[in-house]
Amino acid sequence: MATARAGAAAWCVYMLRCADGSLYTGITTDIVRRVAEHNGDGLLGARYTRTRRPVQLVHAEAAASRAEATRREAAIKRLDRARKLALCGFAS
């Protein structure tokens, strides 16, 4: 379940839960298209998620710019798994 904060911004940071339970974090300007790509629509999609399909969007947040989205992505990637799960609203 994604948070509603990703609505109007040009860039957003998102987190996916893969079929194996792992988490993937990325940035995009079109969250619907990007999740579809991760799930195999089209030729794009991250190598990491290609073998861990299906993926489910579990978190998204708006960013004012690409730079801000990239910084937030890096900050999320530095979190331990328990904090990432808490950010998504899951109990660890």
At residue 9, the pLDDT reads 52
Number of residues assigned to the chain: 92
In contact, 57 and 31? CB cutoff 8 Å:
yes
Q: Which domains does the chain have, with CATH numbers?
A: 4-88 (3.40.1440.10)
Could you tell me the two tokens for 8?
Answer: 């109007």
Q: Has residue 2 got a pLDDT over 70? A: no
Q: Has residue 3 got a pLDDT over 90? A: no
In contact, 63 and 5? CB cutoff 8 Å:
no
Q: Rounded mean pLDDT of the chain?
A: 89
Residue carrying the six token digits 């890096």: 74
Q: Has residue 11 got a pLDDT over 50? A: yes
Dist. CA 15–CA 23, nearest whole Å: 7
Sign of CA pseudo-dihedral 81, 36, 61, 48: positive
pLDDT tens-digit map of 27-71: 999 999 999 999 988 777 788 999 999 999 999 999 999 999 999
